Amino acid sequence: MRGDQTPPPAPSATPSAHLTGTSRWLGGEGYADITKLRELAAKHERLAAKIQARMARLHTKIEKLRHQSTLLREKAEQVLQRIPEYQQEMAQHERTIQTTTSQQTHHTVGSDITGLHYRIRQLQQKIVDVQHRARRIEHRAAVKTQQGAVLKVKADRLNDQVRAAQVEAQNYQRRADRLQLATESEAAQYAAVPPPPPPPGPAPAPNANETPGEHDQL
């Protein structure tokens, strides 16, 4: 071999363009799907967080209504506590009427007795008014309780939506994890395949200064 002849190029250590392009396609397509799945998982997680915030506000309203209804019932009980006092006063007036009537020798009803009867009627009216007021307060408490029950139903529905959104987010996350493992495994297997040998280089052109048969003479 002459000194002016260049040896064929040695095989390159870098993978071929075909290998690089195919690996890039495998990674790009796979990771695009993984990114999409993780985006959907994050979307459902945000939805679950948003519903949880709304559900927390509903629970706060429920506790507020429950507290208000409890206060109203306690107030109604305090109002009804006046009734025994009125009843005792009425009983006292009735005993006074009986004592005064038994001591009288004539059948004429005096003003003291009619005044006691009038006082008894006033106390009876107060008892009715107190009962009516207590019933109104209890009705307001019942309305608050009903409103809390309605909000509780809404909160339960939101809780179901939160669980459904969390399940969807977990499913998308698991699918993304499985796809990532599969893509990385496929890419690792493809990268382990040795690159194909390079094509042979072109044959060296003969030297114009050489005459036919020169190599034979040498």
- 10 Å CB burial of residue 179 (0-12, 13-18, 19+) is middle
* pLDDT score at 18: 42
Residues 6+ apart with CB under 8 A from 145: 65, 66, 69
**Residues 38, 27: Cα–Cα separation, whole Å:** 16
- Provide the terminal-to-terminal Cα distance of the chain, rounded to the nearest Å: 11
Is pLDDT larger for residue 168 or for residue 207? 168
**Residues 41-49: contacts with CB under 8 Å, at least 24 apart:** 41/168, 41/169, 41/170, 41/172, 41/173, 41/176, 42/169, 44/165, 44/166, 44/168, 44/169, 44/172, 45/165, 45/166, 45/169, 47/165, 48/162, 48/165, 48/166, 48/169
CB half-sphere exposure, 46, CA atoms < 13 A: 6
Q: What is the pLDDT of residues 84-102, one digit of tens each?
A: 999 999 999 898 888 877 7
Residue 189 has pLDDT above 70, yes or no: no
The residue written with tokens 């987010």 in the block is 169
Residue 207 has pLDDT above 80, yes or no: no
Structure tokens given for 98: 């009986």
Question: pLDDT band at residue 114, thresholds of 50, 70 and 90?
Answer: confident
Enumerate the domain spans of the chain. 21-79+128-190
**Residues 35, 123: Cα–Cα separation, whole Å:** 80
* pLDDT score at 205: 54
Residue 165 in contact with residue 49, Cβ under 8 Å?
no
Residue 112 has pLDDT above 90, yes or no: no
Q: What is the pLDDT of residues 133-156, one digit of tens each?
A: 999 999 999 999 999 999 999 999
